[in-house]
Amino acid sequence: MAGEFELIGRHFNWPAPQGFLGVGDDCALLPVSAGHRLAVTTDLLVEGQHFFPDVDPEALGHKALAVNVSDLGAMGARPLGCVLGLSLPHVDDAWLAAFARGFRSMAELSGCPLVGGDTTRSSAGVVISVTAMGEVPLEGALLRSAAKPGDDIWVTGTLGGPHVALELLQGRHPEHTTVLEEVRVSLERPLPPVSFGTALAGHAHAAIDISDGLLQDLNHILKASACAAHIDYPALPVHGALQGLGPELVQRAVLNGGDVYQLCFTAAPEAKGRIVELARQHGVEVSVVGRIAEGSGIQVMDSPLPMGQDDYAGYDHFR
């Protein structure tokens, strides 16, 4: 049986970039710049709660980091590096190798190198803790509290795919299982538009990543900014594979479906040209889906089905 230090060495001892000190001391060291703030975000993922025991470990490694760099992008921050805590009931070499492969590919895609961590034995299932750090210009951070009446509301990528994938994996809607292959990747391998988020710093106002559903996450911006929002349902970018599904499922998936890890952000109408240009440079699809207004609450206009009270609620772990 491998020792703890060997275990770390074998799967996670990737070379640290120039100017970094990686695994092997009391702390990792990351370069920091003047005139910036350090941005930091953390997530704790628990087997049975956030993922199934039989999940593809490579997808799990990918997603464990993706959800954190997504938060950096939603702040307008440039990733600096991340640390990983891993608690395992036993050492499964093939599982670890696949997990590390998925984590590393996301680290490379997002420019967020792994610089340290902690591994430990778990008496229960697998537990994964990821903390990602980035830097953002002092004045450019995309705060939830920065939306202004008159701002356009933008969404990157498409909506609804992860929600439909999750329901199909849970055995619901058996008449639509043929759709699963098309939507599964959006649930298991989200690709948050991190570098685009970094580029938005100073151009957009407020931003959030869509993890709990568009309405619930937009609502965080509205509360923090003391504003209201009008959403133009027909303008929402629906995942292409959802076309043949029932309107009830599609509407719920688009408005309330979580696990999207795309951005919802607001910006002055004058910034539209610049934002479209940045999106083109970063290969990101963007849509204007509504407008920030004075007041409070969200109004969804021209939805296929009437909106009920429940449609405005998201997911809350301890409710």
Residues between 139 and 158 with contacts to its own copies, criterion CB under 8 A: 141-145
Which amino acid, residue 94?
A
Query: To 10 degrees, what angle do helices 4-12 and 93-110 make?
Result: 50
Amino acid letter, residue 213: G
Q: Is 54 in the site for its own copies (CB under 8 A)?
A: no
Residue 24 touching its own copies (CB under 8 A): yes
Between 125 and 149, name the residue whose CB sits nearer to its own copies. 125
Q: Are 216 and 314 in contact (CB under 8 A)?
A: yes
Minimum CB distance to its own copies, residue 152 (Å): 20
- The burial of 270, by beta-carbon neighbours within 10 Å (0-12 exposed, 13-18 middle, 19 or more buried), is given as exposed
- Per rule CB under 8 A, is residue 309 in the interface with its own copies? no
Determine the Cα–Cα distance for residues 63 and 75; give it in Å rounded to an integer.
19
Which one of the spans 33-41, 183-191, 228-236, 296-304 is the region binding its own copies (CB under 8 A)?
33-41
* DSSP reduced 3-state for 47: strand
How many residues touch its own copies under the rule CB under 8 A: the total is 78
Distance CA 117, CA 42 (A): 13
For residue 45, list its beta bridge partners: 128
- Which span (32-40, 168-176, 182-190, 225-233) binds its own copies, by CB under 8 A? 32-40
243 CB burial (10 A radius; 0-12, 13-18, 19+): exposed
Residue closer to its own copies by CB (options 151, 238) is 151
* Closest to its own copies by CB, 83 or 267: 83
Site membership for its own copies, residue 2 (CB under 8 A)? yes
Which residues lie across from 135 on neighbouring strands?
38, 78
**CA separation for the pair 148, 21 (Å, rounded):** 41
Site for its own copies contains 259 (CB under 8 A): no
Among 10, 29, 56, 311, binds its own copies (CB under 8 A): 29
State the nearest-atom distance from the C-beta of 63 to its own copies, in Å. Answer: 15
Cα distance between residue 56 and residue 192, in whole Å: 19
Q: Could you say whether residue 75 binds its own copies (CB under 8 A)?
A: yes
Contacting residue, 61, 81, 113, 193, with its own copies by CB under 8 A = 81
Residue number with CB closer to its own copies (141 or 180): 141
Site for its own copies in 84-143 (CB under 8 A): 84-87, 91, 115-125, 127, 129, 131, 133-136, 141-143
Select 268 or 313, whichever has its Cβ closest to its own copies: 313
Per-residue binder mask for its own copies (CB under 8 A), 205-234, x = binder:
--xxx--------------x----------
Give min distance, CB of 199 to its own copies, in A: 16
Candidate segments 71-79, 178-186, 277-285, 291-299, binder of its own copies by CB under 8 A: 71-79
How many CB atoms within 10 Å of residue 90?
Answer: 9
Phi, psi of 196 (to 5 degrees): -65, -40
Which residues touch 75 (CB under 8 Å, ≥6 apart)?
A: 39, 41, 134, 136, 141, 142, 143, 197, 207
**By CB under 8 A, residue 7 contacts its own copies:** yes
Minimum separation from the CB atom of position 128 to its own copies (A): 9
Q: How far apart are CA 80 and CA 217, in angstroms?
A: 25
